[in-house]
Amino acid sequence: MSDFEGKVVIVTGAGNGLGRAHALAFAEHGAKVVVNDLGGTLDGSGDGDAADLVVEEIKSNGGEAIANKASVSDRDGAKSIVDDAVNHFGTLDILVNNAGNLRDKSFKNMTLDDYDAVLDVHLRGTGYVTHFAWPVMYQKNWGRIVLTSSTSGIFGNFGQANYGASKMGMLGLMNVLAIEGASHNIRVNCLAPGAATRMTASVPGATFDPKDPPAERGPSLVSPAVLYMCTEDAPSGWVMHAASGRFSRSQIFANEGVKFDADEATFKKLMDNIEQATDMSAAVGREPTRRG
The fourth-level CATH superfamily of domain 8-250 is NAD(P)-binding Rossmann-like Domain (3.40.50.720)
Q: What is residue 156's three-state secondary structure? A: coil
pTM of the model: 0.91
Residue spans of the domains in the chain: they are 8-250, 254-292
The mean per-residue pLDDT over the stretch 278-289 comes to 88
The mean per-residue pLDDT over the stretch 153-179 comes to 96
Handedness of CA 7, 10, 11, 15 (dihedral sign): positive
**Residue 176, pLDDT above cutoff 50:** yes
**Closest by CA position to 26, among listed 37, 47, 12:** 12
Q: Is 228 known to be catalytic?
A: no
**Residue 93, pLDDT above cutoff 50:** yes
pLDDT tens per residue across span 185-234: 999 999 999 987 655 545 555 565 666 766 667 899 999 999 999 999 99
pLDDT at 47: 59
The mean per-residue pLDDT over the stretch 75-87 comes to 98
Long-range interactions of 67-71: CB distance < 8 A, separation 24+: 67/34, 67/35, 67/36, 67/37, 68/34, 68/35, 68/36, 68/37, 69/36, 69/37, 69/38, 69/39, 70/36, 70/38, 71/38, 71/44, 71/121, 71/125
The mean per-residue pLDDT over the stretch 94-122 comes to 96
- At residue 98 the predicted structure's pLDDT band, cuts being 50, 70 and 90, is very high
Determine the Cα–Cα distance for residues 139 and 150; give it in Å rounded to an integer.
Answer: 31
Burial track 217-238 (b if 16+ CB lie within 10 A, e otherwise): bbbebbbebbbbbbeeebebbb
pLDDT at 287: 78
pLDDT at 46: 55
pLDDT at 197: 61
pLDDT tens per residue across span 104-115: 999 999 999 999
Determine the Cα–Cα distance for residues 24 and 7; give it in Å rounded to an integer.
Answer: 14
pLDDT at 39: 84
Residue 180 burial class via C-beta count within 10 angstroms: exposed 0-12, middle 13-18, buried 19 and up? middle
Strands 239-243 and 284-286: unpaired
The number of helix segments (H) and strand segments (E) in the chain equals 11, 10
- At residue 292 the predicted structure's pLDDT band, cuts being 50, 70 and 90, is very low
Determine the Cα–Cα distance for residues 221 and 224; give it in Å rounded to an integer.
Answer: 7
Strands 246-250 and 239-243: antiparallel
Determine the Cα–Cα distance for residues 136 and 141; give it in Å rounded to an integer.
Answer: 9
Left (φ > 0), alpha (ψ -120 to 50) or beta: where does 39 sit?
left
Q: Which of 23-37, 46-60, 73-87, 243-257 has the lowest mean pLDDT?
A: 46-60
Half-sphere exposure (Cβ direction) of 13: Cα atoms closer than 13 Å: 26
pLDDT at 201: 46
For residue 6, count other CB atoms closer than 10 A to its CB: 13
